[in-house]
A and B are shown apart, each in its own frame.
Chain A
């Protein structure tokens, strides 16, 4: 029965996709009636646009064609403004991994410290509450000013946006480890280090992993915007560059791939989350 339901959901998904692509195709069909436009405007925008033979928004087929092109040769490099989408994606991924990794290295130990002590938790809470809602991009000018390097600044922005969910979740997970497990460790005279690694960490791991999953999602959202600002390389810069080239089809290809990579990242962390979750 469950398998049957899955099949039905799958079929429905395909139907929705076909309807969506069909509507898109109809909406972007070349218009047959010649439009009358101002002569001066025609000179300005070029013949095709002026006569209105074709809508500038690409059809699904155009995008599909570009997608095949982009995927068939993802790693070419023909200078600063013409790199394959694989290379751009790799740049973005590298920045996300570095920023996210550094944030994890800071947030998890710090979160442990905060979670272990009510005093530290209460003392740091106002700072965290103020810093957390700041858009990571608001840090960008400060990062550029102090770090004086656009690439490092992008990594810093990823760092600062992924640190909060991990910090808060680690602190919360550590603070809410069941008292009976701590009592067991106490009666066994377990050293603080051993307690942290064998009792507190596994007990808090599901909560910590949830924080990491939220963080990686935010980091992937923010990297596109950050790279639009700093420029040079990355999928965000690619989107911005294609906008300047007025290549809507390429932008759509990039948008689709950004979504796909984001989904894969989330799936990886969902797996990790499942691996550390224990049944009580």
Chain B
């Protein structure tokens, strides 16, 4: 059976500067993601993770290569894919409710006001923001803003969710709480997710597969690691599992040592 998302020979480069050579960000990136899978991509800054995510979101075009979702080639942004931005990207002049409703009305323009409100409330409840519906983003903490961003992305019920390092700017406690919420939501909705992170533990907790990128420029997708931990792992218990340390050591070894020297995948 064909995979849900297929990426083939993806390459992003910028035209030659005075020096002569094209600046290749990444090259020859191939992967596939199955429906309902949660994938995290890890790599150092400058390896092109965000560019790959933006290509999947349709916000950037690759220099060459293709991406297919549900058997159809991906062209431009679409309501098929929900995006949670690193900087939350909420409209500061809209209330929490209005921010989510804006997305909902974009997806279902024919819905009545009542239908929209009901749908919006359901997703506000999902991220536990009851009582903050009429607040403006400036009145919310960083974690609450990111929850709104997550609710907005989920509210359009996309086929796939793209998360660009959504918890990077949050403190450890808040991050842990939102991670738990995200785990619960994703397990319930069986949402397909592609997420960028810098945090190894976050990747282990959330993802079914972990993509490791070598350092840029000329980054490649060096390794795809299957997460061997049990599906119902939680943040509080997963470190008791012996496999957790093996996986964690493997990932950190890669990031500290092998990501630098990695050049081309062995075929």
Q: Which residues of A contact B (CB under 8 A)?
A: 180-181, 183-184, 186-190, 194, 198-199, 202-203, 205, 278-280
- A203, B94: Cα distance in complex, Å: 11
- A278, B93: Cα distance in complex, Å: 6
Please report the number of residue pairs spanning A and B whose Cβ atoms sit closer than 8 angstroms: 57
- A188, B136: Cα distance in complex, Å: 21
**Is there contact, CB below 8 Å, between A187 and B77?**
yes
Report 9 cross-chain contacts, Cβ distance below 8 Å, ordered by A residue.
A180-B87, A183-B85, A187-B59, A188-B79, A188-B103, A189-B77, A189-B106, A198-B102, A278-B93
Residues from chain B with a CB closer than 8 A to the CB of A198 are 102
Number of B residues, CB within 8 Å of A: 25
Q: Which residues of B contact A (CB under 8 A)?
A: 57-59, 76-79, 81-83, 85, 87, 89, 91-94, 102-103, 106-107, 136-138, 156
Known contacts being A186-B77, A189-B77, A279-B138, is A181 close to B91, with CB within 8 Å?
Answer: yes
Distance in Å: Cβ of B196 to nearest Cβ of chain A: 15
Residues from chain A with a CB closer than 8 A to the CB of B156 are 188
Distance in Å: Cβ of A174 to nearest Cβ of chain B: 15
**Is there contact, CB below 8 Å, between B136 and A279?**
yes
Known contacts being A190-B106, A279-B92, is A184 close to B79, with CB within 8 Å?
Answer: no
Known contacts being A180-B85, A278-B136, A280-B138, is A189 close to B91, with CB within 8 Å?
Answer: no
| Main SS class of interface, B | loop
Distance in Å: Cβ of A102 to nearest Cβ of chain B: 28
Residues from chain B with a CB closer than 8 A to the CB of A186 are 58-59, 76-77
Residues from chain A with a CB closer than 8 A to the CB of B103 are 188
| Main SS class of interface, A | helix
Distance in Å: Cβ of A243 to nearest Cβ of chain B: 49
Distance in Å: Cβ of B157 to nearest Cβ of chain A: 13
Distance in Å: Cβ of B57 to nearest Cβ of chain A: 6
Residues from chain B with a CB closer than 8 A to the CB of A180 are 85, 87, 89
Residues from chain A with a CB closer than 8 A to the CB of B94 are 202
Distance in Å: Cβ of B136 to nearest Cβ of chain A: 7
User: Which of B59, B76, B91 has the most C-beta atoms of chain A within 10 angstroms of its own C-beta?
Assistant: B91
Further 6 A-B residue pairs, CB within 8 A, beyond A180-B89, A188-B156, A202-B94 = A180-B87, A186-B77, A188-B107, A199-B91, A205-B93, A279-B136
